[in-house]
Each structure stands twice: as C-alpha cells, then as structure tokens.
Structure 1
C-alpha cells in the first residue's frame, strides 16, 4: 500500500523523514515563486530539467506546483519535519492573493468559469439529461443561480423536478467525494479485471451467416465481404478501450501531493471528475475518470453548507 507522502519527504521504517534532495527542490520552488516566476514557468522548467515529482514521474503542471505552494505540511508538524519557514510560506500566500486580485479572480468571474467547468458533467438521474445553469434576476443584487435538469422547463412547462443545486453545493459535493478518495488512496493501487465484450444478437446472426457462406465456399461473394466488414465494425463498437490504468495513473498524479481539500479546485475537478449523477431521493453518485464512484447525500451537503 502506498502512502500519500508530499514531495520533500520519504518513508523510512514507517516514519516520514526528509528527502534532502527533494526538500531542496521544494525550497527552490518557493523561492522561485517569490522571485516572480509563475507556477506555469516553474512547471515547464522542472519538466525541461527532467526532475521527477513525488510519484517519480516527470510530469508537472501549474496545478501541481500550486499544490506544493499551499501545502501547510511544509511548515512542520508532529509527523512532517519542517522544510519551509513561516515567513516564506506567508509571503507566498500573500503573493498568490495579490495575483488573484490583479487578474480579476473575483467570485463573479469564478462563477462564470465554473459554469464552463461543470457543463456536461452534472447529469439528471431521472431522465438522463444534463444539468444547466438557470439564472434569475440576472445582473441584480437579488440574482439567483441554480443548476437544474435541462428538462426542468420543457415547452414552457415544468417537466423534471429532480433536485436543483447551487454552485457552492456542487463544489462541496466534489470536495467531500475527493476527500474520500484521498483517505483511501489504496483504491488507486487496485487492478481492474478486463471484461469480455458482450456479443449482441446482431453479431451472432452475422457470425452464423458468414459461417454458412464460408461452408458454401462463397469466398468471393459480395455479401460475405460486406458481412465481414460489418462484423468488424460491430465488434469495434462494443469493445471499450481499457484506459483504466491510464486514468488511474492520471488521478494518482493529480492527487499524490494533496492533503484533504478545504476549498474547490476547478483544475482538479476538470482533471479527475467524469460526471455527477443527481437522483430524486437526494443521492448523488460522483464518478471519477477511472470509474471509481463515491456516493454523497444532497441533504447532508446542504446542511453542511
């Protein structure tokens, strides 16, 4: 079983200790950021130099660099030795806030960005339609934004009464489900058995007809060649490419540096969430890109919010 140990540390006899070389890398990332280098440029530099991340992969992004910059474990605690001093850590957080304000990352801008992030990923468990954002009193102080089934209103009538969600509730659902995965990182170490494709009746009929034509030695017949082509096409349509290993590794890369989430991260949401299915009874199934599913309760999320 793997332990989710942040870069800069390693496990020795069940204890977390400093990995001196990688701890120096963490210090350099903090210093570079304070010297005005963006997280994106830091990530590109690390890749160009062939420097591995905590998972020993040469894979970096501005998101993974940002995760390092906000990790309070580097200040030291009863388990993690200190790598970053408090003054440096606070200076980095101050610069991050200044940049957020400078580039207009206000709540309104984030609402518009999150609208694109959620689009196509929130699914109605009753009718199968996607959720879309409905805005009331747009542009006014009393503006209300809710995510509802696309068929909530159809031909000027209320058709689907599945529960609606606010943007904040979607964020809380994501945070809760992702934290469950973070607390069970061993799930990302499990191998999934491949399932054989299910043969349809159409394919069975084609197989039988092909066999008949071959027994009749109709090898040059147009019907046989067409059937063989259709059979190949049919098999392709039911054969799913097994990307479980790839998707699981992608999730591991996105989560390996992280502790429990305290706030919404739209980049992480886009990277690891396949869809959220909202059911009438308030149950919400959060499916990750590698098919791991976590169940959340709408009422509990609303109460917690």
Structure 2
C-alpha cells in the first residue's frame, strides 16, 4: 500500500502493521447507519481467528520479556480514587516469602503518599473475577441490558464536505475521479470522529465464551482476557468489573473480616 501510494485515513501514503490491523478489526465494515455492510460477518470472524493464529505463530500472544504480558491484570486495574493505573510491586523478591501486590501508580508521588487506595493481591483479583463472572453465568440476561445511545457528532468539516458531495450528485456536474476523492475524504473525516458501536459484537463474544460453562471455582486466565475490559478499585474494598461490552458488575474484595484496603 505504501509503495503504491495509497493514502491512509490521514490522507498520507504511509501504512504499517498497526494501521492495517485497525482496518481488519473495524466492525464498521459490517455495516452501520451510514454505510452498507461491506463484508460478511462470517468472513469478518474468520479474519479475527486468522489474526489470532498468526499472533501465536509469530510469538506475539505472550512475550515473557514484555512487562505488559507478565500478568493478565497489567493495564486492566485502575484506581477508583484518583484514576491512575495500578502497578505490580514485588515484596521480598527471590525469597520464599515473595509476594506480589498491586498499588495505584500514585500511591507514592513526589516522595509522598498521594493516593491511599490501598493494595490488592493477585488472589483477591481472581476471587473478584470469579464472583462477577459467576453472576453473569447465573443471570445471562445481564448481558442484554439496553445501552445508552451515543449521539452522533459530526465535525463542521464533515458536514460541509458531505453537503458538497450531495450537491454535486444532485447537479450531476462532477468527474468520477473528483467525486471519488471527496468521498474518500468524507470517509476519513468520519473515521476520525466515529465512535464504534460494538456492544452487540462484544456481547456475542462474551456469550460464546461463557456458553456451556458451569459456575467457576478456579480462575481462568483465558476467560478473563476474553471478557474483561478493566477493574476499578476503591479504597473501601469496592471493585467495578467492566466487561468488554460495557456491562459493569459490582463486587467487594476482603481479607479475612476486614477490607483488603484498610
């Protein structure tokens, strides 16, 4: 694409693995309120499966030396008090008493205790996930909650170009090359401001991941990665588990008879 000079969404002839990947995983090609479906759903799913297979072949699924891949919780734990990400800390590293705990990135900020959200362990995170996913398994209707519609928001540039295209089409005074260029520019502007409505797609993925499963008694890392977007942790022990389709389940983590963060 780069060699042939095809422009990307920013109208520049520059392509890489990431930009092509965004196209391949963009569910808008399955159709929306403005454009017809351009690819069959079955084909789209096959592409996603093929990409996953390629990641495994190339060793991109799990890289031991990558900090983000050392734990399934990396990048998914967030502080409900200050909004920062949680980081993993190792106590007594290399010793039999070694333990790992997660703290807010701003627990210590500029050499002072800045955020008193407390700590949470891997085991507590796993227990919270088991509680949340079992709640969904028991009550599948939770996944079907009506989501709030996000109002469409088009930029002034998009509106102006869209009207110009409509006027040209109505007057039939245009060259095919000129119109094609303008349509591409309109699509690029829409892409920049579009909010992907992928609730149904993600709900389907969660439903498939949970299909046929009994109540969970042990932590399943693959299931966690397939279904959970993030966990928001509060100092009073509350945890919001947000699934990939936007469903939020509230749970509490404890240590003995006390909140883990106390």
TM-score where L is the length of structure 1: 0.50
**1:163 and 1:278 in contact (8 A); partners too:** no
Structure 1: gaps spanning 5 or more residues: 1-56, 62-108, 212-227
1:301 and 1:135 map into 2 onto residues whose CA distance is 22
1:296 and 1:265 map into 2 onto residues whose CA distance is 18
Report whether the alignment pairs 1:139 with 2:99.
no
1:113 and 1:208 map into 2 onto residues whose CA distance is 43
2:195 and 2:256 map into 1 onto residues whose CA distance is 34
Residue in structure 2 matched with residue 290 of structure 1 by the alignment: 245
Structure 1 or 2: larger helix share? 1
| Residues 151-230 of structure 1: pairs in structure 2 closer than 5 A | 151-189=106-144, 192=147, 194-198=149-153, 203=155
**1:152 and 1:159 in contact (8 A); partners too:** yes
Which digits, 9 at most, give the CA deviation of each residue in 1:28-84, with x for residues without a partner?
A: xxxxxxxxxxxxxxxxxxxxxxxxxxxxx99xx9xxxxxxxxxxxxxxxxxxxxxxx
1:253 and 1:162 map into 2 onto residues whose CA distance is 35
Return the offset for 1:150.
1.5
Seen in structure 2, the aligned counterparts of structure 1 residues 155 and 231 have a Cα distance that, compared at 3 Å, is: farther
Residue in structure 1 matched with residue 103 of structure 2 by the alignment: 148
Return the offset for 1:210.
10
> Which secondary structure state, in structure 1, belongs to the residue aligned with residue 119 of structure 2?
coil
Seen in structure 2, the aligned counterparts of structure 1 residues 181 and 206 have a Cα distance that, compared at 3 Å, is: closer
1:260 and 1:253 map into 2 onto residues whose CA distance is 15
2:203 and 2:80 map into 1 onto residues whose CA distance is 25
2:69 and 2:124 map into 1 onto residues whose CA distance is 12
| Count of residue pairs the alignment pairs up | 188
Larger radius of gyration: 1
| Residues 1-305 of structure 1: pairs in structure 2 closer than 5 A | 115-189=70-144, 192=147, 194-198=149-153, 203=155, 235-299=190-254
Segments ≥4 residues shifted beyond 4 Å: 112-115, 189-194, 204-211, 228-235, 300-305
Structure 2: gaps spanning 5 or more residues: 1-44, 50-63, 164-182
1:133 and 1:283 map into 2 onto residues whose CA distance is 19
Which digits, 9 at most, give the CA deviation of each residue in 1:114-157, with x for residues without a partner?
A: 95211000111222221111111111123232111112223433
Return the offset for 1:287.
0.3
CA root-mean-square deviation: 4.0
> Which secondary structure state, in structure 1, belongs to the residue aligned with residue 124 of structure 2?
helix
Seen in structure 2, the aligned counterparts of structure 1 residues 232 and 113 have a Cα distance that, compared at 3 Å, is: closer
